[in-house]
A and B are shown apart, each in its own frame.
Chain A
Amino acid sequence: MNEDQRLIQFEARINAGEKIEPKDWMPEAYRKTLLRQISQHAHSEVIGMQPEANWALRAPTLRAKKILLAKIQDEGGHGLYLYSAAETLGVDRAEMIEQLQQGKAKYSSIFNYPTLNWADMGAIGWLVDGAAIVNQTMLAKCSYGPYARAMLRICKEEGFHQRQGYEIMAKMMAGNDAQKAMAQDAMNCWWWPSLMMFGPHDADSPHTKESMQWKIKVESNDKLRQRFINRTVEQAYHIGLTVPDPKLKYNKETMNWEIGPINWDEFWNVVKGNGPCNHKRMAHHIKYHNKGQWVRDAAIAFAQNETFVTAL
């Protein structure tokens, strides 16, 4: 069978709704796109631990501490799970981490914003995880089996995070003036970046067309973004938060909340490395990765000595 025939067969399987599995034939471009996307997703989970870890030691109650730590742990677990899914495409985790640290692989730009008050923990859970769920629910229908299955499991946990984040916001909006101000501050900080998480408008999205053809994505950026906006605006109003968009209005005909223009200059600026925390996030990752080198070396040296392995 030549390449063309294989491609026809591959696309026929995708159109029939079959899942592609690691050992199946796939076009190189499909493998590359998935690898880029899944590794980027894994890196995002791992880098995303940092802005939340920033508050792990200052969480205000034992319950809040437990919830936050469990959430960060979930993110790390998602990272592991996604690295494994990406490894099925032929690249190992060490190499993916190297690509991240060399700037060749990206992670979600949202984590390049700082967490400056406790309400940011609420906003991240509610808005960032909320946006991620919309995207990931779609990805659970993706044509690549290991990725789709990873998404199913991850979505369940993200659902908890979203509710827990909203609970933090609701509690603070029911609290004293300082707490309300913190919550609104967090809303102002995270609203637009969370809308940007869905990526550029469909007309400007370089990867969308091919990804949709091969069902790596099954819905467009704008459609997903709108779904998130409709859900979230009402939740914000419900607890008294103001959505920081003077042009926001409800369209009765389409039943959509229509937003003002997104500042794409800001988006590209952060993507290109000029966000408030790009440098810090990467420096942190590299610092602790390097600091852990002697531990990994020791574990390998130990594993190579069979006498002690059996002793454990």
Chain B
Amino acid sequence: MTKFIVRLIFIKCLKAQPICNDEHKNARYNFCLRLADNNLILAQRLAEWCSKGPILEEDLAITNMSLDLFGQAESFYDYAAAVIESNSSADELAFLRSEREYLNTLMVEQPNGDFAFTMMKQMLFSAYTKLLYESLSKSVDRTLAGLSAKALKEAKYHLRHSSEWVIRLGNGTNESKERVQFALNELWLFVDDMFAMDENDEALITIGVIENTKDIKPKWLMFIKQILEEANLQITSNTNSISGGIKGIHTEHLGHLLCEMQYLQRAYPGAKW
């Protein structure tokens, strides 16, 4: 019975969001969209590995991560639409926006490259989402907190899987070490973009929705350095960085990914699938 009451309260909390004005609503919408877009685009990239894994077990593992991320994307899209009381479905948000309207970080849209590149990208990103979801799971926005707590479990698994591979490749053969070091050097260009914040974040910090996300980067760096040390890899001295995902300014790769992903929805407007 107690359990039942606790659950009722929980469901009530899910519905009762913190009081906020339109500015905060839009900020929350944008924030959720960003989370959803990150997951969607990376999920789509991972799905490219389907039937192309270096070993059957890894084919399954990568598909599994892709599935988790599509699921997360769907939940965050649904919530984004609910926040602004829009009738947009998750599918509309996922499939019917233009390139300029996607808010994902540049890291996730980068092509898969080889297996080392994919695993390095996954590790850098999952280390970030693990910390992000840990923080968001304490949000005063109970729905966001609930969705994040669920996503956190999956992010931890993705991080474990990818960081184990980074360590394995860094300590495997000369070739694997070269490949995984190359991946790190290339992807480092997109690290700063992952932590980019804008006025939406500022607004959400003031009302406690994303209170601690600003502290994530040093924690992320500390964790990544540990793994890279175990993997015998060096962070590049090149400090160049590219950013723009948060403003919808992407690398040339995203448009191609969207063309393929949106094909049926665009070719047959209004069709039900």
Contact = CB atoms under 8 A, between A and B. Distances in A.
Interface of A: 46, 49-50, 53, 56-66, 69-70, 72-73, 76-77, 79-80, 83, 118, 168, 171-172, 174-176, 178-179, 284, 288, 291-299, 301-302, 305, 308, 311-312
B176 A50 contact: no
B250 to A, nearest CB: 18
Given A72-B51, A76-B56, 20 more contacts: A49-B50, A53-B50, A57-B47, A57-B48, A61-B91, A62-B70, A62-B91, A62-B94, A63-B74, A76-B59, A174-B272, A175-B272, A288-B52, A291-B114, A294-B179, A295-B58, A298-B168, A298-B169, A299-B172, A311-B230
Nearest to A48: B51
Contacts, number: 142
Contact of B63 (A58, A69, A168): A69
20 contacts: A49-B50, A53-B50, A58-B263, A62-B73, A62-B94, A65-B47, A66-B67, A69-B50, A70-B67, A73-B60, A168-B273, A171-B272, A172-B273, A175-B273, A288-B52, A295-B54, A295-B115, A295-B116, A298-B168, A301-B173
A135 to B, nearest CB: 22
Given A62-B90, A292-B53, A292-B54, A178 B95 contact: no
A73 B63 contact: yes
A168 B94 CA distance: 20
B176 A297 contact: yes
Nearest to A79: B56
Classify chain B's interface size: 35 or more
* Overall SS of chain A's interface: helix
Contact of B264 (A60, A83, A299, A301): A60
Contact of A80 (B56, B71, B116, B167): B56
A66 B56 CA distance: 19
A284 B271 CA distance: 33
A72 B53 CA distance: 13
Contacts of A298: 168-169, 172-173, 175-176
A299 B164 CA distance: 11
A66 B115 contact: no
A279 to B, nearest CB: 16
Nearest to A179: B271
Contacts of B77: 62
A296 B115 CA distance: 11
A296 to B, nearest CB: 6
A296 B57 CA distance: 11
A72 B51 CA distance: 9
Interface of B: 44, 47-48, 50-60, 63-64, 66-67, 70-71, 73-74, 77, 90-91, 94-95, 114-116, 164, 167-169, 171-173, 175-176, 179, 230, 260-261, 263-265, 268, 271-273
B70 A57 contact: no
B70 A73 contact: no
Contact of B260 (A49, A58, A76, A118): A58
Which among A83, A168, A296 has the highest number of chain B CB atoms within 10 Å? A296
**Interface majority SS on B: helix, strand, loop or mixed?**
helix
A295 B170 CA distance: 11
A168 B53 CA distance: 27
Nearest to B260: A57
Interface centre among A57, A70, A295, A299 (most CB of B within 10 A): A295
A60 to B, nearest CB: 4
A73 B64 contact: yes
Contacts of A76: 56, 59-60, 63
Nearest to A311: B230
Given A49-B59, A179-B268, A299 B168 contact: yes
B175 A69 contact: no
Contacts of A62: 70, 73-74, 77, 90-91, 94
Given A53-B51, A72-B50, A308 B171 contact: yes
Given A57-B260, A73-B63, A302-B168, A64 B273 contact: yes
B76 to A, nearest CB: 11
A271 B178 CA distance: 43
A122 to B, nearest CB: 10
A69 B272 contact: no
Contacts of A171: 272-273
A149 to B, nearest CB: 20
Given A294-B176, A296-B54, A311 B167 contact: yes
Nearest to B47: A56
A72 B63 CA distance: 8
Given A49-B50, A62-B74, A292-B54, A297 B173 contact: yes
Contacts of A58: 260-261, 263-264
Contacts of A56: 47-48, 50
B60 A312 contact: no
Nearest to B163: A312
